A and B are shown apart, each in its own frame.
Chain A
């Protein structure tokens, strides 16, 4: 009943709101509190970052694939980072990989994915007027924006941006003497990340509160679309883990600027013995990975949620094992907090801890496996429509399998001794978290574009974009397994200095070419996105014939989403191809009492209850209206 009251209450509150509210350009597009616009802001900013992050990777792939190439032509862009003989500066190479990682993990796949779709979809799919706090939501975006600006500026300073790898392990990141990027660049990195963490927390609190409190009538947790479950759990993970990253960063700031020794001990650098003693660099690694590992799921879970929704819709079949999917995600959420030290098997921590974390790590593979099997069974005997969103979702499942299986090698500490920090790891996480999440993001954009902009994206360009990207990603990352098994270390400017790695120049060249083509293929998407925004075909109200609530809103939903009463929900979101039903989908807003022909036995019993509640509601509504008059 509580939800029912909230819903009616906010509906009436909104009516008042509408009368006095006039959007101007600034309140509509810039300092907006409308969750849909904030979602779009995150998306566009995320796309800009993805372009920068991708460009950085193309530059370092040039170095790795064509080490002898004269890069003089990049001087207008990179200036002094091109050495006088036309090569890339080795320190700038490290800056490139560091910024590529930071940008992709945090700015694209956390803010760009979670920020976009949690904001856009949570109120629309649970039937709410907006987020619990529109103002906090606005702050969340603008903290992210400030963070972006600072990180962007750090790319252009003379000593270069942070260059100690995206994990910024001290002492390297703590000591300016160790590399120039650990000076001002690292300071800016820390400031930017602080703003980023604040943004994530503001967003996360909002997502959680909204999902718990603002669900429309009838939208019980067991009727939530899997997207919402995913966003909800993602927000919880973020809320619990980002503060730990903040503490790690704070201690690092102290070590860098105030002479403390949390992470520093026994250091002789630049012909000078530093006074710090008693600190432990391994402490930082524990704190960092306490966020760092859950972060993997922060970027992956929303993608999996989006995929579940899209695969079910376009298979015209209910998602197989809804409960198992939810339990798997819950399992992943909880386990994601107790596996962090598998990144540290050879960091020098107690090997006994290594054993514990090996067991815990391989447990987390089980819910992941369950999810894959459930996706496959959802496709089985479906009636599959290959929209671009569906293609990207299937691509995601493929990457999730390929990258997930190599996790079983790396989670095994004995095998990890050899593979740790080689290209095998690079291949693993680029498939399972990088590409899979990126495909989730793409699937989401193609699928919800009609809701975002009221127009359709061009499907054919979508197909071309998908196939180029899908094949491209495999051509980039699959070969990396081979050079990883061969022992090629990560973050190497060049491998020719060692006998054991003085080979595979051909394969590296191949990878670089594939990377450049894949990067170029993204411009097909960029064109399709912006062109369709203005010139695409006008979408129908429910173009994918989907069951969820967002498709019951007008083509261009205003601030408040539904012009009248918020719809009530009577069923779960996966009634596709129900036997007996006329259409192959029944929206969540259709009462069970209206579909006696397709109700399952246990649903038939619910019909009575449903009728009682509807009658109750009717009298309450009449009473309310009488009061208002």
Chain B
């Protein structure tokens, strides 16, 4: 019944719109406005541009200021401060251009709307003007690029020797985090060794692998360089840590990396934001299938002392999975057993 009533209502509405449309067409034919070059609507449209400029501009400023603390994510890495700075410098430069060009674009239609007794200026070219507005943007862009290039070179430079290595491996649909253990060297991996117990495909015939351990959270120290070694096991993923201003694709068959320096512990950030539940997070930003939107991992930034304590407490992966080293050659097996007994 409701469906029927709605249908009748829509039909009624449509027929009213139709009538109005026909009447206004007939009126315009009667008035002969179709013979004119520009009708009264020209004035209305010209005015609408100005109205839009004021209305939309006001809305933009109001919302941008009101929401600033919401959309401006706090930053917690050393290079992030620099890229944020570049972002806001670019925002200032482009913002000025945006506002000026739009004022002109919407004010000209009002100012120069059609008038029967006026003739447009025949003004086909001016080379001086063209040169000016080619060189000025060129110089401004060059300055912006040089700033960006310097930052980019620093960010992508090789990681410092003393970086803490963390391996992050993406797969459908989670991240696996592996630490190199006390030797700070990750053991080799081979995707063919992947199994339910060896999710990262670690190759335990490499003795560097024996003290590697997994962690459900990424724990890193504040104020010391951290190197993420990133890889993927099935399809492309991308490690995105928004507060660290960090993003790097995880590519099957091609390890990638990203190093950075965390500047605030989780606790400090909680205090700063006055939010006791705050956590740093990793999300996936390369489409990877059904669970793309749910590849969450937590990062915990702690004081260096706490980090070392935490590291010391971790047990190598093989301690709870001795079957992984059962088939090793004699020499390595001995080493593995020593490692296991040390941590028992």
Q: Which of B45-63 contact A (CB under 8 A)?
A: 45-46, 48-49, 52, 56, 60, 63
Please give me the residue from chain B that is nearest to A579 by CB atom.
B122
Contact present for B41 and A397 (CB under 8 Å): no
- B119 CB–A CB distance under 8 Å: yes
Please give me the residue from chain A that is nearest to B257 by CB atom.
A348
A76 to chain B, nearest CB (A): 13
Which residues of the partner chain B approach A265 to less than 8 Å between Cβ atoms? 252-254
Which residues of the partner chain A approach B233 to less than 8 Å between Cβ atoms? 266-269
Contact present for A584 and B120 (CB under 8 Å): yes
- B321 CB–A CB distance under 8 Å: no
Contact present for B296 and A497 (CB under 8 Å): yes
Contact present for A418 and B83 (CB under 8 Å): yes
Which residues of the partner chain B approach A584 to less than 8 Å between Cβ atoms? 119-120
- A322 CB–B CB distance under 8 Å: yes
Which residues of the partner chain A approach B87 to less than 8 Å between Cβ atoms? 409, 415, 418
Q: Which of A38-88 contact B (CB under 8 A)?
A: none
Which residues of the partner chain A approach B248 to less than 8 Å between Cβ atoms? 346, 348
- B329 CB–A CB distance under 8 Å: no
Q: Which of A376-414 contact B (CB under 8 A)?
A: 376-377, 379-386, 391, 394, 397-398, 401-402, 405-406, 408-409, 412-414
Which residues of the partner chain B approach A374 to less than 8 Å between Cβ atoms? 130
Contact present for A408 and B141 (CB under 8 Å): yes
From A316, A379, A460, A491, give the contact of B109 (CB < 8 A).
A379
- Which of A2-10, A224-232, A357-365, A439-447 is the contact stretch? A357-365
- Which of A212-220, A482-490, A548-556, A611-619 is the contact stretch? A482-490
- A499 CB–B CB distance under 8 Å: yes
- B126 CB–A CB distance under 8 Å: yes
Contact present for A94 and B287 (CB under 8 Å): yes
- A153 CB–B CB distance under 8 Å: no
Which residues of the partner chain A approach B148 to less than 8 Å between Cβ atoms? 358, 412-415
Please give me the residue from chain A that is nearest to B107 by CB atom.
A379
Contact present for B42 and A405 (CB under 8 Å): no
A281-B115 contact, Cβ under 8 Å, with A460-B41, A486-B73: no
Tell me, in angstroms, the Cα distance from A140 to B124 when the chains sit together.
38
Which residues of the partner chain B approach A482 to less than 8 Å between Cβ atoms? 63-64, 67, 70-71
Which residues of the partner chain B approach A324 to less than 8 Å between Cβ atoms? 125, 130
- A29 CB–B CB distance under 8 Å: no
Contact present for B245 and A417 (CB under 8 Å): yes
Which residues of the partner chain A approach B172 to less than 8 Å between Cβ atoms? 178, 269
Which residues of the partner chain B approach A401 to less than 8 Å between Cβ atoms? 97-98, 101-102, 105
From A266, A323, A381, give the contact of B120 (CB < 8 A).
A381
Chain A 464-495 near chain B by CB (<8 Å), digits 1 or 0: 00010011001000110011011101111111
Contact present for B144 and A362 (CB under 8 Å): yes
Tell me, in angstroms, the Cα distance from A458 to B292 when the chains sit together.
47
A164 to chain B, nearest CB (A): 6
Q: Which of B85-115 contact A (CB under 8 A)?
A: 86-87, 90-91, 93-94, 97-98, 101-102, 104-106, 108-109, 112-115
Contact present for B252 and A171 (CB under 8 Å): yes
B222 to chain A, nearest CB (A): 19
Contact present for B236 and A315 (CB under 8 Å): no
Please give me the residue from chain A that is nearest to B291 by CB atom.
A90
From B45, B70, B112, B294, give the contact of A486 (CB < 8 A).
B70
Contact present for A172 and B235 (CB under 8 Å): yes
A266-B253 contact, Cβ under 8 Å, with A281-B236, A346-B238, A417-B155: yes
A322-B124 contact, Cβ under 8 Å, with A346-B238, A413-B148: yes
Please give me the residue from chain A that is nearest to B277 by CB atom.
A499
Contact present for A90 and B293 (CB under 8 Å): yes
B309 to chain A, nearest CB (A): 26
Contact present for B113 and A280 (CB under 8 Å): no
Which residues of the partner chain A approach B201 to less than 8 Å between Cβ atoms? 268
- B191 CB–A CB distance under 8 Å: yes
Contact present for A458 and B289 (CB under 8 Å): no
Q: Which of B7-54 contact A (CB under 8 A)?
A: 21, 24-25, 28-29, 34, 37-38, 41-42, 44-46, 48-49, 52
Tell me, in angstroms, the Cα distance from A497 to B67 when the chains sit together.
22
Tell me, in angstroms, the Cα distance from A413 to B112 when the chains sit together.
41
From A321, A348, A458, A577, give the contact of B121 (CB < 8 A).
A577
- A503 CB–B CB distance under 8 Å: yes
Tell me, in angstroms, the Cα distance from A579 to B123 when the chains sit together.
10
Contact present for A377 and B151 (CB under 8 Å): no
A463-B122 contact, Cβ under 8 Å, with A178-B234, A282-B251, A500-B243: no
- Which of B180-188, B209-217, B278-286, B332-340 is the contact stretch? B278-286
- Which of B131-139, B160-168, B300-308, B310-318 is the contact stretch? B131-139
Which residues of the partner chain B approach A599 to less than 8 Å between Cβ atoms? none
- B72 CB–A CB distance under 8 Å: yes
Tell me, in angstroms, the Cα distance from A365 to B142 when the chains sit together.
11
- A305 CB–B CB distance under 8 Å: no
Contact present for A489 and B240 (CB under 8 Å): yes
From A267, A351, A415, A478, give the contact of B252 (CB < 8 A).
A267
B312 to chain A, nearest CB (A): 29
Contact present for A497 and B194 (CB under 8 Å): no
A323-B145 contact, Cβ under 8 Å, with A500-B242, A577-B120: no
- Interface bracket on B: 35 or more
Tell me, in angstroms, the Cα distance from A516 to B134 when the chains sit together.
40
A417-B112 contact, Cβ under 8 Å, with A172-B236, A486-B73: no
From B130, B151, B238, B243, give the contact of A370 (CB < 8 A).
B130
Q: Which of A220-278 contact B (CB under 8 A)?
A: 264-269, 273, 277-278
A251 to chain B, nearest CB (A): 15
- B320 CB–A CB distance under 8 Å: no
Chain B 199-210 near chain A by CB (<8 Å), digits 1 or 0: 001000000000
- B343 CB–A CB distance under 8 Å: no
- A606 CB–B CB distance under 8 Å: no
Contact present for A417 and B234 (CB under 8 Å): no
Contact present for B151 and A414 (CB under 8 Å): yes
From B94, B234, B284, B288, give the contact of A405 (CB < 8 A).
B94
Q: Which of B147-199 contact A (CB under 8 A)?
A: 147-149, 151-153, 155-156, 171-172, 191-192, 194
Contact present for A164 and B287 (CB under 8 Å): yes
A325 to chain B, nearest CB (A): 10
- A340 CB–B CB distance under 8 Å: no
- A116 CB–B CB distance under 8 Å: no
- B344 CB–A CB distance under 8 Å: no
Which residues of the partner chain A approach B112 to less than 8 Å between Cβ atoms? 315, 379-384
Tell me, in angstroms, the Cα distance from A165 to B289 when the chains sit together.
10
Which residues of the partner chain B approach A467 to less than 8 Å between Cβ atoms? 48
A348-B251 contact, Cβ under 8 Å, with A321-B130, A405-B98, A414-B152: yes
Contact present for A386 and B125 (CB under 8 Å): no
Which residues of the partner chain A approach B25 to less than 8 Å between Cβ atoms? 458
B124 to chain A, nearest CB (A): 4
B184 to chain A, nearest CB (A): 23
- B324 CB–A CB distance under 8 Å: no
Contact present for A394 and B138 (CB under 8 Å): no
Which residues of the partner chain B approach A409 to less than 8 Å between Cβ atoms? 87, 90-91, 94
Contact present for A385 and B285 (CB under 8 Å): no
User: Which residues of B approach A to under 8 Å, CB–CB?
Assistant: 21, 24-25, 28-29, 34, 37-38, 41-42, 44-46, 48-49, 52, 56, 60, 63-64, 67, 70-73, 80, 82-83, 86-87, 90-91, 93-94, 97-98, 101-102, 104-106, 108-109, 112-115, 118-126, 129-130, 133-134, 137-138, 141-142, 144-145, 147-149, 151-153, 155-156, 171-172, 191-192, 194, 201, 233-236, 238, 240, 242-243, 245-249, 251-254, 256, 277-279, 281, 283-294, 296
Q: Can you spell out 7 A-B residue pairs with CB atoms less than 8 angstroms apart?
A: A366-B138, A394-B105, A405-B98, A421-B247, A491-B292, A500-B242, A537-B34
Closest 5 pairs between A and B when the two form their complex, measured CB to CB: A265-B253, A351-B156, A487-B242, A412-B148, A348-B256
